[in-house]
Amino acid sequence: MWCPSTQEVMEVVCGLGTHGPALCPQGPSPRGRRVLASEASPGWRELQDTRQETALDISLSYIYKFLTLCAQAQPSASPDRDLLDLMELLCRAGLDVRLRLLPNADLQQLLLLLLQNIREWPGKLQQLCRALSSVSDHHHNLLAVVQFFPDVTSRSRQLRSQLSLVVIAQMLGQQEAPLLWKEEAQLVVLGRLLSLMRPAALGQLLDSEASPPRQEQRPTGSAERDYQVCYLCHSLLSLAGVVVSCQDLTPGRWEELRLLCTQLDRHISAHIRESPQAMHQTKLRDLATQTYFRWQELLAHCRPQVAPRISPPGSI
């Protein structure tokens, strides 16, 4: 059975006109001329956008199904390097803005199968996380990449947890450290990162990353800046929830999880200001509350068992 190379898949995907981050560095597909916004009425543009979204979704679905068939028929046909490149390519294509409201079950199934076909595992986990965390520089897109891998296999749980932790550290501007890659230290590392997720700290981080002209346009304390802070914190907290949910929580890790709950309440929940005019703050508060209660439930399930007290012989 013939199976296409990663380069051949890239050429076909780019030929469809996908707009994933840095997917087609050569520019848009030469197969058709794009209509400028000024040349079309709003109604016509909306109709064209809907048709393009549907056509792109159907075409990509056929590609995903064919590649799934290839991966099932010849699981050892591609070396690990090609599998990693293909997974990165597919994640970039999946981030096309026109696919944001469409289901991606075919893509998820294909990615899970490719993940299972990697022979050197978990040896390739670090390399894969670095590749996938570079497909975009926006936290919303990187959260979407994590969600491309459902929590259904041991490998997908490993990847979701490690990739989430890498993205959190990356978004917070933290230097990569050896402890980041130690699976048994993930909750400890997450606890340190939670202390950097305070809204005020995130605001300072966004200010430091903004160019001087942008800082003049959006002064500290503006509504837009507050929205961006809550948006970033919401994504980071969602990723933190992924890290915890993928852990094998035993009584021996009870104290680590208890400290996480304390960090969440101290550094995030206590610093969220709610306002009827700012729904993004309410959404962030809701997520923080839901995450706290979810972690408390896990805490109750992995609580160390207290040995029953045995009375000495002859005592009443």
For the record, the structure tokens of 1 come out as 């059975």
This prediction's pTM:
0.85
pLDDT tens, position by position, 29-62: 333 333 333 443 444 345 456 777 788 889 999 9
Q: Are 260 and 192 in contact (CB under 8 A)?
A: no
For the record, the structure tokens of 157 come out as 């749980």
pLDDT for 299 equals 94
pLDDT for 233 equals 97
Q: Where is pLDDT greater, at 32 or 12?
A: 12
pLDDT for 18 equals 75
Distance, CA of 129 to CA of 122 (rounded, Å): 11
In the structure, what pLDDT confidence band is assigned to residue 22 with cuts at 50, 70 and 90? low
Q: Are 295 and 264 in contact (CB under 8 A)?
A: yes
Tell me the chain's radius of gyration from C-alpha atoms: 23
pLDDT tens, position by position, 203-217: 999 999 875 554 444
Q: Are 230 and 139 in contact (CB under 8 A)?
A: no
In the structure, what pLDDT confidence band is assigned to residue 123 with cuts at 50, 70 and 90? very high
List the end-to-end C-alpha distance of the chain, in Å, as a whole number: 80
